Structures are given as structure tokens and as C-alpha cells.
Amino acid sequence: MTRDQGTLGRDKQPERIAGMFDAIAPRYDLLNHLLSGGLDLRWRRKAVRSLALRGGELVLDLCTGTADLAIASATAAPGAAAVVGVDFAGEMLRVGQAKLAQRGLAGRIRLVQGDAMRIPLASASVDAATVAFGIRNVERPEAAFADVFRVLRPGGRFSILEFGVPRVPGVRQAYLAYFRHVLPRVGSLISGHASAYAYLPASVGTFPEPAQVMASLAATGFSQVRAASLSLGIVYLYSALKPEQR
């Protein structure tokens, strides 16, 4: 990674990141499905399954974007969950709200503009929480972890999907070539926003290794912290539990 890429990946000023996502909101879903080869749908299903929802829960979807994971949580089973989706990018939420209206889910999913480090919900008010491909965009992920811990009820589960870098020789080199060269060009061409799809590989490259993410979750107070490698390490599914009070 070049020095410029490292700087780009570490610049997490909320106004800049929100503006970038607002600019690509109209093509965001199309590019997610295209650039992942449709695997993003499978990854989200795994994240929802890891919550072990039984029905009637209230789920927080942090960094909800266009609400794909919120929709997956709310439709996992009849009456499975109500969801509050929080994101700081207003245009992303507008795209998400249109999707909810089209699918008749506006009554089960509420979208709120807010900061992941200062979640606009009461303490111990949600049964489970998720973040999909958004925690690396937060200026201080450990602050978001702490606020998720605050809003979760004791016994609540927290699941995170985030990109990683494969470690298998050959796969790693092929993935990095795609991620650093092909993906930014395709993303720029379709979205018309070059810097957003240059930021993506740069932000993944500067995000902490799985062991560091797990250590940060444990330091926050979460127990049963795990990281599962998906699709040869392209993505990691982190899971954690807020312990029951004693």
C-alpha cells in the first residue's frame, strides 16, 4: 500500500465519509451485488443467523446504509424482529426508506440519522445489534463498540461483517489485484465517484487485523468473542455477547 492510500484509508472525518456515501447512494446497492458477485447476500444471511433470533426482538443495525441488513433481520422469519437502522449519511437512508416502502416494511424498520459513536437510543434498549461493512468507516471503532454495549440488553448478541484480506497464497495475490485495481475502476465507472472506490481498498488495508478487533470487543466487556472467516477470508463475521448481569 502506498503512503497516499494509507492516508486515504485513515481519514475518517465523519463529514467527509458521510458526503462520500451520499454521493454514491443511487448506485450503492447495484455495485455491492456486482462487485461481490452476489456473495453479499450470503454474508448477510450468516450474520442474521448468528444472532439466534427467536421472534419479537428489537435489533439495532448500525451503519445501516441502504438498510439491506436491516431488511434481512426483519424478514428472517415471520415476526422475527423489529429493527432500528442508524446511519449518518442522509442520502443512503433515503434510498433505504424507499426500499422499505416498496416492500411494505416501513412499519417494522425505522431508519434514523445518527452517529455510530453516539447511538441515539436508550441504554439496554435493544436485544441484538449488527454492523455490515461499516465499522471500518467509523472514526473510532472502539467508541462504537462501547456504545453498542451500552444500548444492548444483557444477553444481547452483536454481529459484525467486515472485509478482510485472504491469507491463502495465490488467493491473496489474486484478491489484492482485484481489490486494488479492478474494483476501483469498475466502481468509479458506474458510480461516477472515483475517490469512494479508491477509499474502499485503502480503508480495508488500514483496518485492524481480526485478533485486534476481537481484543477490542473483549476490552469493551463483550464475552464469547469469535471471528469466522468467510469466502476464503474475503470477509470476517465477528460475533460477541453482552454478558448477563449477576
| CB crowding 154-185: b at 16 or more within 10 Å, else e | eebbbbbbbbbbbeeeeeeeebbeebbeebbe
CATH class of 3-241: alpha beta
DSSP structure class, residue 221: T
pLDDT, tens digit, 9 for 90 and up, residues 113-156: 999 999 999 999 999 999 999 999 999 999 999 999 999 999 99
Mean pLDDT of 199-209: 87
pTM of the entire structure?
0.90
Q: pLDDT band for position 103 (50/70/90)?
A: very high
Residue 124 CA to residue 15 CA, distance in Å, equals: 28
Determine the pLDDT at residue 15: 83
Determine the pLDDT at residue 4: 46
The answer to whether the CB of 234 falls within 8 A of the CB of 46 is no
Determine the pLDDT at residue 79: 64
Torsion angles phi and psi, residue 150, rounded to 5: -65, -45
Determine the pLDDT at residue 161: 97
User: Mean pLDDT across the chain, nearest whole number?
Assistant: 89
pLDDT, tens digit, 9 for 90 and up, residues 224-243: 999 999 999 999 999 999 99
pLDDT, tens digit, 9 for 90 and up, residues 144-170: 999 999 999 999 999 999 999 888 888
Given a cut of 60, is residue 3 above it in pLDDT? no
Residue 227 CA to residue 212 CA, distance in Å, equals: 11
**Strands of the chain, DSSP E:** 57-62, 81-87, 109-113, 126-132, 152-163, 223-230, 235-241
Determine the pLDDT at residue 2: 45
Q: pLDDT band for position 91 (50/70/90)?
A: very high
Q: pLDDT band for position 97 (50/70/90)?
A: very high
Q: What residues does each domain of the chain span?
A: 3-241
Mean pLDDT of 63-78: 91
